[in-house]
Amino acid sequence: MHAASLRSQPRSKWAERFKGERELSPAWRICYKPPLPKRIIAAEVGTSMTPSEEMNGSGNLMDFLDEPMPDVSTYEDFHTIDWLREKSRDTDRHRKITSKSKESIWEFIKSLLDAWSGWVVMLLIGLLSGTLAGVIDLAVDWMTDLKEGVCLSAFWYSHEQCCWTSNETTFDDRDKCPQWQKWSELMTGHTQGGGAYVLNYFLYVMWALFFSFLAVTLVRVFAPYACGSGIPEIKTILSGFIIRGYLGKWTLLIKTVTLVLAVSSGLSLGKEGPLVHVACCCGNLFSSLFSKYSKNEGKRREVLSAAAAAGVSVAFGAPIGGVLFSLEEVSYYFPLKTLWRSFFAALVAAFTLRSINPFGNSRLVLFYVEYHTPWYMAELVPFILLGVFGGLWGTLFIRGNIAWCRRRKTTRLGRYPVLEVMAVTGITAILAFPNPYTRRSTSELISELFNDCGALESSQLCDYVNDPNMTRPLDDIPDRPAGPGVYTALWQLALALVFKIFITIFTFGMKIPSGLFIPSMAVGAIAGRIVGIAVEQMAYHHHDWIIFKNWCRPGADCVTPGLYAMVGAAACLGGVTRMTVSLVVIMFELTGGLEYIVPLMAAAVTSKWVADAFGKEGIYEAHIQLNGYPFLDVKDEFTHRTLATDVMRPRRGEPPLAVLTQEGTTVEDVEALIKDTDYNGFPVVVSRESERLIGFVQRRDLTLAIKSARQKQDGVVSNSVVYFTEDAPQLPASNPQPLKLRRILNLSPFTVTDHTPMETVVDIFRKLGLRQCLVTRSGRLLGIITKKDVLRHMAQMMNQDPESIMFN
Amino acid sequence: MHAASLRSQPRSKWAERFKGERELSPAWRICYKPPLPKRIIAAEVGTSMTPSEEMNGSGNLMDFLDEPMPDVSTYEDFHTIDWLREKSRDTDRHRKITSKSKESIWEFIKSLLDAWSGWVVMLLIGLLSGTLAGVIDLAVDWMTDLKEGVCLSAFWYSHEQCCWTSNETTFDDRDKCPQWQKWSELMTGHTQGGGAYVLNYFLYVMWALFFSFLAVTLVRVFAPYACGSGIPEIKTILSGFIIRGYLGKWTLLIKTVTLVLAVSSGLSLGKEGPLVHVACCCGNLFSSLFSKYSKNEGKRREVLSAAAAAGVSVAFGAPIGGVLFSLEEVSYYFPLKTLWRSFFAALVAAFTLRSINPFGNSRLVLFYVEYHTPWYMAELVPFILLGVFGGLWGTLFIRGNIAWCRRRKTTRLGRYPVLEVMAVTGITAILAFPNPYTRRSTSELISELFNDCGALESSQLCDYVNDPNMTRPLDDIPDRPAGPGVYTALWQLALALVFKIFITIFTFGMKIPSGLFIPSMAVGAIAGRIVGIAVEQMAYHHHDWIIFKNWCRPGADCVTPGLYAMVGAAACLGGVTRMTVSLVVIMFELTGGLEYIVPLMAAAVTSKWVADAFGKEGIYEAHIQLNGYPFLDVKDEFTHRTLATDVMRPRRGEPPLAVLTQEGTTVEDVEALIKDTDYNGFPVVVSRESERLIGFVQRRDLTLAIKSARQKQDGVVSNSVVYFTEDAPQLPASNPQPLKLRRILNLSPFTVTDHTPMETVVDIFRKLGLRQCLVTRSGRLLGIITKKDVLRHMAQMMNQDPESIMFN
């Protein structure tokens, strides 16, 4: 008996898969293995009981037999959900509530509450994720400064807050308020000189090592799922996969804490991806409060999509961009109702964050841009070049990072994650400290690079030679020649660029929370600023060149280097993630005007095209593939000419499909079939001869029904006949009482003919979210295609190893 | 023989349907009947030849027999398309190009061009629709002013342009430049006095009548499809319906011209909806340049979705809002690739319009808002009240307008469209002239209502009593007591509100281009401004009331009446159209800041909830239903418990399904079947006894194949046996040569079992875009469900007349 490959022992394959790794390394290091005791996981996810628990609840079981579909969630860990079924279960629930609501006022109020629960969940998600984002921002700010020094008046103040509260200095003189003391000053009294420098250097590295050690240890001990950016896993979960505990309370707590530590340690990583994970954990947490969402995996995923939008909203202060990110990049099933609710959640989150005001400027992000100087058509050339750079960086990053992660997965390197994190932190800190552009936090760096040089700007990057005769207003400064500070800054930026490019490749994917939006943007912003200053100086010194003649008169403000930084950041982010609309909208929300949409779009489009030329997948898809998640991408076009008959099981030469007949099988036979195979379900046919399909029965339902009948129903014994027809078969009176199982039979299994092109089959699997589909020819059952078979076939067609896809 | 209800005589049903109307009225008055000679229509749509033309092209036909699917478009007018089939045809095309591209460099370049054609189409659509929008804006501006007077220096200047070019006046003194003369001044030399007023009044009404007469006559003679807003029809077309000529060149030209006339005539209508129609016409025009789009109805609809986004983009100067409008409101099938391209088209259109600069302020719309004064939590109460007003207005408008349109359709009123338009124009002009707020164009009115009163503002609405001791800067003016001008303005606004509310109900749906965004916004803006001034004056005079105490100190600028107008406009627009995200985003793009998103969202949500309580459908859905278009709304939830068996044809008691058997039928039999029935296709079964389904054959393919075989293939005569099996049946040598038709047989027809819940069937029809679906039980063919059956069943379930849905 061969067949349906709907395996039901969930852990088996995964266990096998990770056996190799497990031999190499302690269990906690496998990011994707549930580490907590089963009880905790069940509580965290809050959906389904284990089968044994259900068997004990006998009332539950009788209900179950009365209903055509069991009402409890029937998905095991690492299984994929059946969207159609979830949807029809929700409609049933809704129908029941609507009909009940006419009975009494209390039921009517309950139905109203049910209708409102979606909005309540969104409100709660918005509030909590906004608050968490604010707390994370404040904590990161404080701890990043802690590496350099401490505030004497109140140690919990960051450098900026410390100098704000001190009345003795002006705002501009940020670095020199007496309340803030560098470690060397505090410990030895010296602020200048080699000794003080070495001491500060040493303490900077030590603090960084301490933070990252704490982060990796917390992840290791409490929540292995808290590592990484989380977006690939969330994409997979939203597409209908179950990973228990990935969005649990522990993960939420530990990810929030370790994210602060990881960012503060100065590693080349950002908080944006992990914030999406944190927001999705909030979504899961609140959806478990309402049975509408906790009992339906499909509805739960609607909430998670909205939560992802809220996460991006607080990460970039871009509510609309967040919704589009969720729509474009993360979500799988995104009905219009969800769009509206996501928008609500994203707005609430943004306003919560704004009322916390972590940056003290009533902006949601540190790198909000306020200038509105115009740009010129000729500048499109450098913008497009930045786009090319972004695409190349995207390709380099994805290839390098995937190669390194594969190495980590397959070699002894993976055994020592703490050591790896400490080593990378050490190298990062040692290399970062001497360069002022890498020493500060990456967000601050991006903020400075995005800025335009005003007249009062005191930073090195704005060290231009001012015309002493200048009579113009201060906010309209013409292009000026660069001073020595700018040239120093250029060198330092170039070094920072090389450093960021390489260290980021090794950082992303370590066993700590790590996002790559900020590092990618930093790479692009540095490159963009360098190009911008170069163009600006060329335009200043060579007004008469043909390329500048038409648009840049002497004394005009032609070139805004900050805009180049912004364009570069968009290009690099686009190259890595392959975002399109959401990227432009996020950037648009950062600038709040339509002025710069054309430069940003030109760079984003170029970057995507260049990167796509080297490989279609973005970093998230690459990680999904690396980890073998069963993700059926909506964006991939399936263009091969194979037919359903080429994909279905059993193949030619394999034993026939394990089927049940509608009558004539005994309880014993069925139990033997269940015992001998591990398929998730069995087709039911009229008879073995005609092979005409009448339905599909789930393994789980079959097991429960037989067990319950043996316990509760008199006369059901091993040689009782099982029948799926409407009427009991005609049997001699001497035979034991037959067992009717029509109620657990799904009478509308999805079928396609063997001649259906796989292209159509893939489309059906995607759009309807099927788990399996039966294949027939002229009404005869021929075989079965599961989601796994589809994914394997697609991998095969793309010349990848089909065995790399792991799921049950 | 009963059956499949896939009718193939396209005009019959429609002809019947309109027969009644035709008897009442001349043919041109039926907005939805193609009026042009068939040749012109075919050229306009550019897709398919008529069957007779195909039959003449014999080479074509032989190709056709060699291929499993004919490559020419096979949809008749008023038919619905098969999305799955269109998609697989496009994949075939793509596969062919990809495999060819490896053959030679020329083919490679051709494949690149093919890949780029999508972007080229988008660029062209953006350029043309931006240009048209600019031209329309300029023309409307000029013609609206022409009703009042003329520019002496150049008659083609509008009032504003005329006074700009004149050097004698300052910009503020707009009304009093000597170059611009009112008609009375030009004709009699008087500007003041009763005579001049009456003369101006008379000429205003005459110009209005002239413009509207011209508009309705042009629509009548050249392009009946140019009437109305077009959005309901575009929604239906995008969902997969074919209406030939609706997006043709004539419609484009006439709609553009008549739109200018209709708006200039001063009727209570806007240009926004018709601009979407115009942009879609551009989309259709340019898609016919590329065979990729012109030969595939599915791909063509991707272009049209993007064009709709470009249309809204230029209508509101909101590219992101336009894309979301297309996604939320208009489109049916919206893959992510289309999202990105729509965005590109919307941006190109917006920038084209901006470079035309029709309003002389480098803004895309007249009512762009520039203030950023804060709002207070307590103000949410009036905002929510405005939301309630918006919801009530939406309900009133939809009910009133639909009732009036139904009356027009069913009574003698519909016979006299010119008279109707002239009467409404006359009433509008006579009532509008005396009130300064209705005399000017509605966009200008909205612009004034949205504005905040600066210190230099001279309009009546800003006639506040200034504090002579005021020392503050001019741009931060505290709340002031209202002067007599404000009170006069309030009365006039109240009258304008009542006037607009009633006249708009009768205007929308007349046989001229008419949008309802602007009138709806005007109603809301008037109501909002009135509420805003009331709150402002209350807050000024009663600082000590508890509700104002906490947030409004004396001398502060607490209330911005312009913001109330904006919130009111959003609420009313939301109530009528039930837009959500796109509405808020459009408003967000008008203000360019996140400040007012919360008030706007509060109003939009309230308005939607209030309006939904009275009826779920927006004005577009209501018009779709009124006209009986076959539109399967994605937003409607189907929650009834019916099964496929309840919906399929044949019903109980009806004759059995018209089927073909895989062998044993003669050519004569098939021809008789084709002649006797008018179904679009026939299922093919193994034999009449077993009824096991093997495939589905299209009527059109069958007709063509038999005709061609009789002409070309020797030995095929009336009693030749037709067979669909792979091998010819064993026949005695004396029999005539059999005819093999397996090539035209679709071997993968879509099937469901009779027990499938209709909820699932509806979902499948929606998501896969099917035309029909076969129903089986245990492999036996039982019946067929077509899209029409689904729509009829849904109408029945909602207690509507199922026969109102018209399509073939």
Rg of chain A (C-alpha set): 30
What is the distance between the alpha carbons of residues B38 and A586, in angstroms, rounded to a whole number? 49
Q: Is A87 on the interface with B (CB under 8 A)?
A: yes
How far A144 CA sits from the closest chain B CA (Å)?
30
Residue B171's pLDDT is what? 47
Q: Which of B344, B581, B758 to mutate to test the interface with A (most CBs of A within 10 A)?
A: B581
Q: Which of B594, B755, B764 to mutate to test the interface with A (most CBs of A within 10 A)?
A: B594
How far A626 CA sits from the closest chain B CA (Å)?
24
CB atoms within 10 A of CB B549: 12
Contacts of A693 in chain B (CB under 8 A): 778-779
What is the distance between the alpha carbons of residues B388 and B391, in angstroms, rounded to a whole number? 5
Q: Which among B585, B759, B778 has the least Cβ separation from residue A693?
A: B778
- DSSP code at position A330: I
Q: A571-580, pLDDT tens digit by residue?
A: 999 999 998 8
Q: How confident is the model at residue A62 (pLDDT cuts 50, 70, 90)?
A: very low
Closest by CA to A165, choosing from A173, A157, A176, A155, is A157
Asked if residue A274 has pLDDT above 80, the reply is yes
Domains and CATH numbers, chain B: 113-147+192-356 (1.10.3080.10), 377-464+474-617 (1.10.3080.10), 644-804 (3.10.580.20)
Residue reference for tokens 């969330």: A234
What is the distance between the alpha carbons of residues B55 and B58, in angstroms, rounded to a whole number? 6
Residue B468's pLDDT is what? 63
Q: Which of A86, A114, A123, A594 to mutate to test the interface with B (most CBs of B within 10 A)?
A: A594
Give the phi and the psi of residue A508 in degrees, each rounded to 5.
Answer: -70, 125
**At residue A92, what is the residue type?**
D
Contacts of B606 in chain A (CB under 8 A): none
Element (H, E) at B783: strand B780-786
Q: How confident is the model at residue A470 (pLDDT cuts 50, 70, 90)?
A: low
What's the complex ipTM?
A: 0.81
Q: How confident is the model at residue A475 (pLDDT cuts 50, 70, 90)?
A: low
- A616-650 residues labelled b (16+ CB within 10 A) or e (exposed): ebbbbbbbbbbbbbbbbbeeeebebebbbbebbbb
Asked if residue A87 has pLDDT above 60, the reply is yes
Contacts of B635 in chain A (CB under 8 A): 336
What is the distance between the alpha carbons of residues A275 and B764, in angstroms, rounded to a whole number? 36
Q: Which among A319, A748, A768 has the least Cβ separation from residue B753?
A: A748
Contacts of A760 in chain B (CB under 8 A): 84, 88, 748
3-state secondary structure of B228: strand
Q: Is A594 on the interface with B (CB under 8 A)?
A: yes
- Write out residues 766-795 of B within 8 Å (CB-CB) of A: 767-768, 776-780
Which residue positions in chain B have pLDDT lower than 70? 1-74, 165-176, 361-362, 455-458, 467-477, 592-594, 802-808
| Averaged pLDDT of chain B | 82
Cβ A379 vs Cβ A535: under 8 Å: yes
Q: What are the CA-CA distances from residue A464 to residues A537, A541, B292 (Å)?
A: 11, 14, 54
Give the phi and the psi of residue B685 in degrees, each rounded to 5.
Answer: -120, 165
Q: What are the CA-CA distances from residue A659 to residues A546, A674, A677, A691, A781 (Å)?
A: 79, 11, 11, 9, 10
What is the distance between the alpha carbons of residues B252 and A264, in angstroms, rounded to a whole number? 60
Asked if residue A66 has pLDDT above 60, the reply is no
> Cβ–Cβ of B757/A594 closer than 8 Å?
no
Sheet containing strand B745-746, strands side by side = B660-661, B681-685, B693-698, B745-746
How far A580 CA sits from the closest chain B CA (Å)?
7
What is the distance between the alpha carbons of residues B774 and A778, in angstroms, rounded to a whole number? 13
> Cβ–Cβ of B639/A768 closer than 8 Å?
no
Q: Which among B340, B589, B637 has the least Cβ separation from residue A580?
A: B340
Element (H, E) at A695: strand A693-698
- DSSP code at position B511: S
Cβ A101 vs Cβ A108: under 8 Å: yes
Determine what percent of chain A is predicted with pLDDT higher than 70.
Answer: 86
Contacts of B613 in chain A (CB under 8 A): none
Q: Which residues contact B121 (CB under 8 A, 6 or more apart)?
A: B283, B286, B287, B289, B290, B293, B303
Q: A638-672, pLDDT tens digit by residue?
A: 878 889 988 998 888 888 888 888 888 888 888 88
Asked if residue A59 has pLDDT above 90, the reply is no
Residue A367 burial class via C-beta count within 10 angstroms: exposed 0-12, middle 13-18, buried 19 and up: buried
Q: What is the mean pLDDT of residues A199-216?
A: 93
> Cβ–Cβ of A597/B319 closer than 8 Å?
yes
Residue A162's pLDDT is what? 80
Specify the pairing of strand A772-777 against strand A751-753: parallel
Structure tokens at A226: 């808290």
> Cβ–Cβ of B336/A686 closer than 8 Å?
no
Q: Which of B85, B340, B746 to mutate to test the interface with A (most CBs of A within 10 A)?
A: B340
Q: How confident is the model at residue A166 (pLDDT cuts 50, 70, 90)?
A: low
> Cβ–Cβ of B597/A347 closer than 8 Å?
yes
Q: Which of B91, B351, B751 to mutate to test the interface with A (most CBs of A within 10 A)?
A: B91
Q: Which among A351, A589, A634 has the least Cβ separation from residue B598?
A: A351
Q: Is A597 on the interface with B (CB under 8 A)?
A: yes
Residue A126's pLDDT is what? 95
| Averaged pLDDT of chain A | 82
Q: What HEC string does B738-751 produce?
A: CEECHHHEECCCCE
Q: Which residue of A has its CA nearest to B338?
A: A581
Q: Which among A98, A594, A767 has the least Cβ separation from residue B768?
A: A767
- DSSP code at position A8: -
Q: How confident is the model at residue A33 (pLDDT cuts 50, 70, 90)?
A: very low
| Higher pLDDT among residues A689 and B426, named by residue | B426
Contacts of B114 in chain A (CB under 8 A): none
> Cβ–Cβ of A692/B778 closer than 8 Å?
yes
Q: Is B332 on the interface with A (CB under 8 A)?
A: no
Residue B42's pLDDT is what? 33
Residue A607's pLDDT is what? 95
CA dihedral for A672, A675, A678, A681, sign (positive or negative) = positive
DSSP A18-65: HHHHHHHS-GGG-TTS--S-HHHHHHHH-S---HHHHHH-HHHHHHHH
Residue B651's pLDDT is what? 85
The gap between the terminal CA atoms of chain A, to the nearest Å, is 19
Closest by CA to A539, choosing from A554, A526, A561, is A554
Q: Which among A637, A686, A778 has the least Cβ separation from residue B686?
A: A778
Contacts of B597 in chain A (CB under 8 A): 319, 347
Cβ A247 vs Cβ A304: under 8 Å: yes
Q: A360-378, pLDDT tens digit by residue?
A: 766 677 777 777 778 888 8
> Cβ–Cβ of B87/A635 closer than 8 Å?
no
Q: A738-788, pLDDT tens digit by residue?
A: 888 888 888 888 999 999 989 889 988 888 888 889 999 888 899 999 888
- DSSP code at position A244: T
Q: Which of B96, B750, B753, B774 to mutate to test the interface with A (most CBs of A within 10 A)?
A: B753
Residue B362 burial class via C-beta count within 10 angstroms: exposed 0-12, middle 13-18, buried 19 and up: exposed
Structure tokens at B610: 């209030």
> Cβ–Cβ of B88/A759 closer than 8 Å?
yes
> Cβ–Cβ of B336/A350 closer than 8 Å?
no
Q: Which among B323, B692, B764 has the least Cβ separation from residue A768?
A: B764
Give the phi and the psi of residue B420 in degrees, each rounded to 5.
Answer: -60, -50
Closest by CA to A593, choosing from B319, B599, B340, B344, is B319
Q: Which residue of A has its CA nearest to B580?
A: A340
